[in-house]
Structure 1
C-alpha cells in the first residue's frame, strides 16, 4: 500500500499493478516455503533455544529470591515478566510442534522435541511451586545460613546447565556432567537431615518444609536428566510418543466467524479504535508531505505504519527508538558518503545494512532503525546524486511520522489499559479457579492424571501471563491514566501467588501417592471456591475507570481454619514421614490459598460497582 503512494504507474492499469504486487507476494511465499524445506528445523531450534535461556533466567531469579532480600519486590516483578515471556514461547512451541505433527505426521525429531518441550513446561511449574511464604523462609535461613547457600548453589547449577545445553543442543556429548548436581543434592540432603535430629517440634516442622522443597529440586534434576537423554537422539518406544487426540486439546482453533467483524465494529473494541487512529494518522501524514512538497512523503506513511501499535506504551517506545535510530543512521551515513563515492560499495552496504536491520528488529528496535536508515540512504545514493538531500528528508519524514504516531495515540480515541484490566483479572482468576477445581477433584478421586488438569494448568499459566502483560502496559501509560494502579498491582501479585501455590499442590499430588481426602479438606476447598466465585461476581461489576472507592470495610464470614490441629494430629497419629510431608505441604498450601482468596475478596469489596 505504501509503495502505491510512492510510485504512480502511467503505463499499467490498476488491475495489472495489483497483479504484479500479488505476484511479488507469491514470490515471497515461494521463497519462504523453499527455505523451510531446506531448513525445516530452524524455527523449532531457535524458539527452543530461547525457551531454554528464559527458563535458566527464571531459575536464577528464583535463586536470588531465596533468603532475606532488600529489593524483593523488583525481583518478583522481574519474575512476572520472565514468566510472561516464557508462556508466550511455550504457546509458540506448542503450535509449532503440535501443528507440524498434525500436518506432516509423526517423526522421531518432532516427537523428541515435543517431549523436551513438555519437560521445560514442567520445569517452569516446579520452579513456580517453590515455597511462597518468604517470611517463614527468611527466618529459617537466618538461623541456618548453610541451607540457604546449599539451595542457591543447587539452583545456580541447574541454571548453568540449561544455558550449557543451549550452546550445544545438538552435541549431547558436550553437555555438562550430572555429577555437580548429584553432589549438591547430597550436601543439601545431609544438612536438612540435621534438623530432623533436633528434639523441638518446630525444628521437625521446618525439616518437613525443607524436605518438600528438596523433593521439588530432585524433580527438577530428573527433568533435566530426561532433557539431556532426549537431546541425545534416543530411539523412542510407542509408550514415549504422545497421541494426537490428547495433544489437540492443548491448542486453540482459530475462530473465523464473520460475526467477529461485526462485534469489533464498535468503540468498545481496542483493534477498531487502533484501525481508526492508524487510518487518520496515515492520511494526515500524507497530507503534510504533499502540502510541504517533501521529496518522499510516503516515508511518513511508512513510519506511521511501522511505529503505531494498539498499546500506548509500545507506540511511545517505538516512536522514541525510531527517531533516535534514524538520527544515528543519518549521522553515520553522512560521514560515510564523504569518504565513499562508489555505487557498488553503496549497494553492498545497503544490502548488508538491510540484513542486519531485519535480524535485529525483534531484539533491539533502536539498532534496527539505525540500519534501516543506512540501508535506505545507501540504496537511494545509487540513483540519487544529491545524497545529503535524501538524508535530510529521511530524517524530517521520520521525525514527522514518529511525532504524529505519538500524538494520535495519545489524544485520538485512546484505549487505556484500565478500561480492560478488569477483564484480564477476571480471566486469570477464572483460569486459576478451574485449575484449583481440577486439582481438588484429582486429589479426591486419585487415579491417572487427567488431561483436563494439564489443559487447565496451561490455561492458568497463559491467562496469568496475559494479566502481567496487561499490567505492564498500564504501568507504561501516563500517571493520570493509571487508575487504582496500587490495588490492581496487588491483585496481579495475588493472582501470581495463587498460581504458585496451585503449582506447588499440583506438582506434589501428581508425583506422590497421597492419602484419602478428609472432610476438612473438602470443607476448606469449598470455602476457597466460594470466595473465588464471589470475587469473580464482584469483578464483573467493578468499573476501574471510576477513580472512587466505596470505602466500606470488608467483614469476613467466620471460618475456623483447622491448619494447626490437622497438621499436629497427623504427625501424632502416624510415624510415616511420607504422610507427615503430605499433611504439611497440602495444608500449608490450602491455608495459603484460603488467605489469598480472603485478600482478593477484601480488596475487590472496596471498589465502587456499576
Structure 2
C-alpha cells in the first residue's frame, strides 16, 4: 500500500498520463505523428522531475525542453552518410553528456538530451517538417511541465511528507546501529562502514529537505505547515549529531562496559526505545494520538540514574572517572529525549511563537548554490575531470555501439546506444551493477513477454499492458533497477507488438541489443579512460578535513567567547557532515572497483575512519557546549586547540601533494615533541572545586581534546606516507 502512496508511483502515473493522452488524441484525430511528437517531448523531460523545490523542478523541466527541441531539430538532419554521421554523433554525445559538470539537475537535463538524440534515429517523419516536429516536442515538454505543476498544487505536501518520513526511518536505523556499537563488538569495522553509508544517505535526505523547506519559505512566505516541519527537521539533524557524539573513545567505553555489563544493557535498551519510537512516529506522521508515550523512556532513565548514583556511592575515588563517563553519556541521551519530546510536540500541531521561527537570512546560509560560471567548462576540459572522461568514453562507445548495429544489420541498432546511455555512469561500480541488473531484467522480461504474446493477440490489450508496464517500470527505477528493467522490456515488446507482426524477432533483437549495450558499457568502464577512485579520493579527503577544521575552529571559538550560538557554527557543522558523506560515498565507490585498482585501500579506509571519528568527537564537543553552561576556557585549552589547528593545517598542506598512484614515502614522519597536559583544562576546575557539573565538563573537554589531538597526529603520519 505504501508503494502506491509514494511519490515515485505518482510520478510514474503522471508520466503514463503525459505520454498516452497525446497518442490517444493523435489516433482519434488521425494526427498520430503530432501525438508522438508531444509524447516524446513529455517523456524526455520527465527525468528532471525529481525531489526538491517546485521552482527548481520547473527550471529543470524547461531547460530539458529547450535542449530536446534543439537536439530534435539537429537529429532530424542526421540521415546522412556514415562517414559524416559518426563524428557528428560522437561530438553531440560528448557535448550533451558534458553538461553534467553543472551538478545533479544538469545531469538529468543531459540525460534528457541524450534520450532525444538516440530516439531521433528511431522516428522517421512523414507529414511534419523537421522544425515543426522539434517545436511540437517543445510543446510536449510544456505539457509535462503543466501536469507536474498541477499535481504539485493538488498534493503539495506529498514530497515533503514522504522525504520526512524516510528521514525519520533512516534516523531510527542510525540510532540502532549506534546501539550495536556500544560495548565490545567483534564486527565493529563492518558496523562502522554501515554507519558511514547510512550517514551518507541521511545527509542526502537532509539536503533534499533543506531545499524543499528553504525554497518554500522564499516562494510561499511563512507557511505554518512548513515552519513546523522545518523545526521538526532541525530536531532530526540534532538527533543525528547527538547520536554520533561519544563522550570518550571506544576503547575506554569498552573496558567500562566489560566491567559493568548492566550499564551496557541499560543504555542499549534506552537507545533501542528511541529507535522504536522514531519508527512509530514515521508511520503515523499526521496521527499524533498514535505516538508512543514517554513513560517507557522515563522509567529507563530513572533506572539508569538510580544505578549511576549507586555506582558512585559504592566505588572508590579511582572509579570516579568512570562515573563521569557514564554520567556524560547519560546527559547525551537526556538531550535526545528532549529532542524526541519536542518532535512529538511540534507534530501535535501546537501554536508556534514568532521567536521559534527561523529567519530567511539564517536559512539561506544552509543552502549550497551551484556554480554556473562558464569558466567551469574550461576547468573541466582535462583528463583530471571525471565528467570529461565519462563524456569522452560515452561518445566513443555510442559510436562503436551504433556501428556494430549497422554492420550486423540489426533491426533497431539505436536500442544498443539507448542501453549504453541508460547504463553507463561515471563510476565503475554503478555501471557494473546496472549492466548486470539490466541484462537480468531484460531476460526475465523477454521470457514473460514471450509467454503473454502467445496467449494474447489483441492490440488494445498490448497497448494497455505496455502503458501499465511503463508506469510500473518508472515507479521502481530508483528502488529496484532490475525489476524496472523487466517492466521496461515488457513495455517495449508490447508496444512493438502492435506495429510489428513478427513478435519473436522483436524479442530476439531486444535481448541481443541489450546484451551488446551492457557488455560495451562494462568493458568501456574497465578499459577505456578509466577513472578509478584512488585517483581522486585525495580531493574528498581534503574537502572533509577542511570542513572538519572549520567546524573545530567554530566550536573552540564559541567555547572561548560563550554567548548565543552563532549560525556559522551550525553552517560549519552541516558542511562537515556533508563532506564526510561525500568522502564515505567516494570510498564506497572505491570498494566496488576491481581489487587491482584499490590502491592502498586499507590506508585510505583508515583515513576515512579517522575523519569520521574526528567528526564524532567534534559532534560531542558541539552538543555539549551548546546545551550546557560552561566555564571560562583555560590557557591550556587555548594552547591545545592551537596545537590541533596547527596539525590540521599541516595535514591540509600534505593532502595537496597526496598521491596514491606511486610508492609510499619510505621515510617516517616524526611529530614534534609535545606533552599533553595531565591536569584539567578549565580554570575553575584546577583547584578541585566540589562541583559535579564542572567536573563533568572538565572530564569531557579534556577527553575530547586528547582524542582530537591523537587523531590529528595519526592523520599527520598517514598523509605524510603518501606525500610526494
TM over 0.5: yes
Query: Structure 2 residue aligned with 1:101, among 217, 226, 248?
Result: 217
Match of 2:32 in 1: none
C-alpha distance in 1, partners of 2:479/2:685?
53
Match of 1:23 in 2: 139
CA contact (8 A) 1:195 1:204 kept: no
Question: In the TM superposition, what are the counterparts of 1:507-526 in structure 2 within 5 Å?
Answer: 507-526=623-642
Question: In the TM superposition, what are the counterparts of 1:297-336 in structure 2 within 5 Å?
Answer: 297-336=413-452
Query: Structure 1 residue aligned with 2:302, among 172, 182, 186?
Result: 186
C-alpha distance in 2, partners of 1:154/1:565?
31
CA contact (8 A) 2:679 2:686 kept: no
CA positional deviation for 1:384: 2.2
Query: Structure 2 residue aligned with 1:602, among 711, 717, 721?
Result: 717
TM-score for the superposition, normalised by structure 1: 0.97
C-alpha distance in 2, partners of 1:512/1:132?
17
Deviations 1:391-447 (A, max 9, x none): 111111111111111111222211111111111101100100000000000000000
CA positional deviation for 1:565: 5.8
Question: Counterpart of 2:121 in 1: which secondary structure?
Answer: helix
Question: In the TM superposition, what are the counterparts of 1:366-385 in structure 2 within 5 Å?
Answer: 366-385=482-501
Pairing 1:357–2:482 present: no
CA positional deviation for 1:571: 7.5
Deviations 1:88-126 (A, max 9, x none): 111111011101111221100111111111001000000
Match of 2:279 in 1: 163
Question: Counterpart of 2:125 in 1: which secondary structure?
Answer: coil
Match of 2:93 in 1: none
CA contact (8 A) 1:299 1:397 kept: yes
C-alpha distance in 2, partners of 1:195/1:591?
26
Pairing 1:75–2:191 present: yes
Aligned residues, how many?
608
CA positional deviation for 1:352: 2.0
C-alpha distance in 2, partners of 1:427/1:467?
8
Larger CA deviation: 70-79 vs 356-365: 356-365
Pairing 1:347–2:347 present: no
Match of 1:213 in 2: 329
Match of 1:580 in 2: 695
TM-score for the superposition, normalised by structure 2: 0.82
CA positional deviation for 1:343: 2.7
C-alpha distance in 1, partners of 2:485/2:187?
35
Larger CA deviation: 437-446 vs 483-492: 483-492
Structure 1: 4+ residue segments shifted above 3 A: 563-572
C-alpha distance in 2, partners of 1:163/1:41?
20
C-alpha distance in 1, partners of 2:208/2:678?
41
CA positional deviation for 1:361: 0.8
Pairing 1:486–2:594 present: no
C-alpha distance in 1, partners of 2:681/2:239?
31
CA positional deviation for 1:453: 0.4
Match of 1:440 in 2: 556
Question: Counterpart of 2:490 in 1: which secondary structure?
Answer: helix
C-alpha distance in 2, partners of 1:565/1:122?
28
C-alpha distance in 1, partners of 2:298/2:495?
58
Query: Structure 1 residue aligned with 2:292, among 162, 171, 176?
Result: 176
Question: In the TM superposition, what are the counterparts of 1:197-596 in structure 2 within 5 Å?
Answer: 197-546=313-662, 548-564=663-679, 570=685, 573-596=688-711
Deviations 1:294-347 (A, max 9, x none): 112221111111111111111111111111111111112122223333333323
CA contact (8 A) 2:463 2:495 kept: yes
Q: Quick one: structure 1 residues 569 and 20, their matched pair in 2 at CA, closer, same or farther if it must change by over 3 Å?
A: closer
Deviations 1:237-281 (A, max 9, x none): 111111101110110222221111122222221111111111112
CA contact (8 A) 2:173 2:275 kept: yes
CA positional deviation for 1:494: 0.3
C-alpha distance in 1, partners of 2:445/2:303?
55
Question: In the TM superposition, what are the counterparts of 1:119-138 in structure 2 within 5 Å?
Answer: 119-131=235-247, 133-138=249-254
CA positional deviation for 1:558: 1.1
Question: Counterpart of 1:393 in 2: which secondary structure?
Answer: helix
